[in-house]
Amino acid sequence: MGSSASSSLDWARDCAAVIPCFNEEPDVGAVVRSVQKYLPTVFVVDDGSADNTAIRAADIGAVVIRNAVNHGKGSALRTGLSHARAQGFAWALTMDGDGQHVAIDIPGFFSCAERTGAALVVGNRLGTPEKIPPLRRLVNRLMTKILSRLTGTSLADSQCGFRLINLDDWAKLTVTTDHFETESELLVQFIRAGHRIDFVPVQVIYESGRSKIRPVLDTCRWLRWWMAQ
């Protein structure tokens, strides 16, 4: 089973935030600042941005890891998680750089890991589904239902990128995808490895035109990944 979190764990010392970003100049500074209230170490993976994402993040005190070209969210996540583990962190909290996730929800992830011993804690946005755009809500529910059947596990929200990850357990998995399907692959791999996963309710803020998801292309990638399972 996965490593359990001790109630005496010092999250500010043992956990780093990992934020993959692609052209998030307008929001990344505020996101980093809000996260620093809970986690002093923030790694921003600037995945080939054409704007000043890296500068804005560094100005606020984030450690910026920069890709010269865009590799995809999944690849950026792997880079950030690998870097956090190499720096000695036992846990990583992942979230988006566009302001969609709210830092005030971070303590709930820590409490859940301490209470349940989960190696992966995932944010659940579907407790207030009316805040999610209708098409994304439909796709999320469908993918979550499919993955629940695939894993034989009742999943609350399979697509949320707001997560707390045990890095030693993560490092033993084989996660190969490079784009938005990585969130699904990571969930499936944790379950198949016998690690406990859990979900915590989170708020979500959506603004039109800010999603980096390309509906047709990313859905096709997800379907290709799913059919290979």
Tens of pLDDT, residue by residue over 136-160, are 788 888 889 999 999 999 999 999 9
Residue 127 lies in a domain: yes
Residue 117 corresponds to which tokens in the numbers above?
Answer: 């011993």
Contact between 202 and 105 (Cβ < 8 Å): yes
Whether the CB-CB separation of 105 and 203 falls below 8 Å is answered with yes
Do residues 21 and 47 lie in contact, with contact meaning Cβ atoms separated by under 8 Å?
A: yes
Q: How confident is the model at residue 210 (pLDDT cuts 50, 70, 90)?
A: low
Pick the residue with more confidence: 181 or 215?
Answer: 181
Is 3 inside a domain boundary? no
Q: Provide the domain count of the chain.
A: 1
> Would you give the DSSP letter of residue 13?
H
What is the rounded end-to-end Cα distance, in angstroms, of the chain? 22
pLDDT at 1: 40
Q: Is residue 207 one of the residues assigned to a domain?
A: yes
Q: Residue 136: what pLDDT? A: 75
For the whole model, what pTM was predicted? 0.90
Domain holding 55, by residue range, is 11-227
115 belongs to a structural domain: yes
> Is 54 a domain residue?
yes
Q: Is the pLDDT of residue 204 over 50?
A: yes
**Residue 1, domain member (yes or no):** no
Residue in 173, 141, 174, 175 with CA at minimum distance from that of residue 158: 141
Task: Give residue 58's pLDDT.
Answer: 98
CA proximity to 9, closest of 79, 109, 140: 109
Is 2 within the bounds of a domain? no
CATH of the domain at 25: 3.90.550.10
Question: For residue 217, is pLDDT > 70?
Answer: no
The answer as to whether 6 is a domain residue is no
